[in-house]
Amino acid sequence: MSEPAAYPDPVLYVYQAHRRYKEGKEGTLDILRGASLAVWAGQSVALVAPSGTGKSTLLHLAGLLERPDAGEVYVSSRPTVGLADNERTAIRRLEIGFVYQSHHLLPEFTALENVMAPQLIRGLGRAEARERAANLLSYLGIGERLRHRPAELSGGEQQRVAIARAVANAPRILLADEPTGNLDPHTSSHVFDTLTTLAKQTGLAAVVATHNLELAARMDRRVTLREGEVVELP
């Protein structure tokens, strides 16, 4: 596994994770069977695998939205599986940002307000939250769209607002589940570049599930899922 020398410990370390779902009355579906993935600060990893192989499941475990049936998930070297729900939620809020395939922005809020919201929830003052939101949106190339509501933005702009919102509280980990799945190739490419540049420049550890091999090729690493395990791709 490629380990940047400057960062000895991975920010995210999914270790030997198992996840099974019940199927019908008796059957079970072993989706993850000892999946391990370590991601270092400033590194972007593409998770490229066919539908139904467990990409979302792996991201949910990594994001502390679900617990593995066995194995461990370390966030900043801290084991999280045995923690109480409220502690897991606190880590998720502080250290992890999510971007989904559809933007999930609040429709009645402007772009600026959507990016301010998580900061206000965390207790930051309005002025500070507004300034950080405006800076982030400008950095992501939508500084001219601060007052637009989601419906008044293009798909690519909406996803960039969603990325800004995900990193508004300066998490250490960014998890994106097919974030460009609904976008045209040109826009996808732009959103991807935004995301990887952001990861690099702010020292984020990013994992992005995608079907797009061309975009995956631009990230630092590529991994896939094979028989429930994470396999590094060349």
User: What is the spatial distance between Cα 95 and Cα 166, in angstroms, rounded to a whole number?
Assistant: 10
Q: Which residues lie closer than 8 Å to 72 by C-beta, 6 or more apart?
A: 13, 14, 15, 16, 17, 79, 80, 81
Q: Please tell me whether residue 56 binds ligand ADP under the rule CB under 6 A.
A: yes
Pattern of binders to ligand ADP over 22-41, x per CB under 6 A?
-------x-x----------
User: What is the spatial distance between Cα 20 and Cα 29, in angstroms, rounded to a whole number?
Assistant: 5
User: What is the spatial distance between Cα 223 and Cα 234, in angstroms, rounded to a whole number?
Assistant: 8
Tell me the number of residues near ligand ADP by CB under 6 A.
11
Q: Please tell me whether residue 56 binds Mg ion under the rule CB under 5 A.
A: yes
Q: Closest distance between Mg ion and the C-beta of residue 65, in Å?
A: 13
Nearest to 223, CA basis, from 34, 55, 6, 5: 55
Q: Please tell me whether residue 185 binds ligand ADP under the rule CB under 6 A.
A: no
Q: Please tell me whether residue 180 binds Mg ion under the rule CB under 5 A.
A: no
Which residue number, 29 or 217, has a Cβ lying nearer to ligand ADP?
29
Q: Please tell me whether residue 55 binds ligand ADP under the rule CB under 6 A.
A: yes
Which of the residues 187 through 206 are near Mg ion (CB under 5 A)?
Answer: none
Which residue number, 56 or 158, has a Cβ lying nearer to Mg ion?
56
Q: Work out what residue 86 binds among Mg ion, ligand ADP, none; the CB cut-off runs from 5 to 8 Å by kind.
A: none
Residue pair 118/165 in contact (Cβ under 8 Å)? The answer is yes
Which residue number, 49 or 136, has a Cβ lying nearer to ligand ADP?
49
For helices 155-166 and 111-122, angle between their N-to-C axes, nearest 10 degrees: 10
